[in-house]
Amino acid sequence: MTARLVAEGLSNRQTGERLFISEHTVDSHVRTIMNKPGFNSRAQIAAWMAASGP
């Protein structure tokens, strides 16, 4: 769900508010995703989500 909200363009703070988790926790989730091969930016997360469908 974090990746989907990042793909929608929400900030870490906004994502945390939507998921009822802290901004720090969102940052941790985003960093975990970006540690995977092929991910260097939030834009790449958005592209991945767009390619994987609804």
- Confidence at residue 8, expressed as pLDDT on a 0 to 100 scale: 96
- 42, 48 in Cβ contact below 8 A? no
Give me the long-range contacts of 47-54 (CB less than 8 A, separation at least 24).
Answer: 48/3, 48/7, 49/3, 49/4, 49/6, 49/7, 50/7
For residue 28, give its domain range.
2-51
CATH number of 34's domain:
1.10.10.10
pTM, whole model, 2 decimals? Answer: 0.87
Cα separation, 21 vs 40, in Å, equals: 23
> How many structural domains comprise the chain?
1
Please report the pLDDT score of residue 19 as a whole number. Answer: 98
Q: What integer pLDDT is reported at residue 53 of this predicted model?
A: 76
**Tell me, what's the pLDDT at 42?**
95
**What tens digit of pLDDT does each residue of 15-52 get?**
999 999 999 999 999 999 999 998 999 999 999 999 98
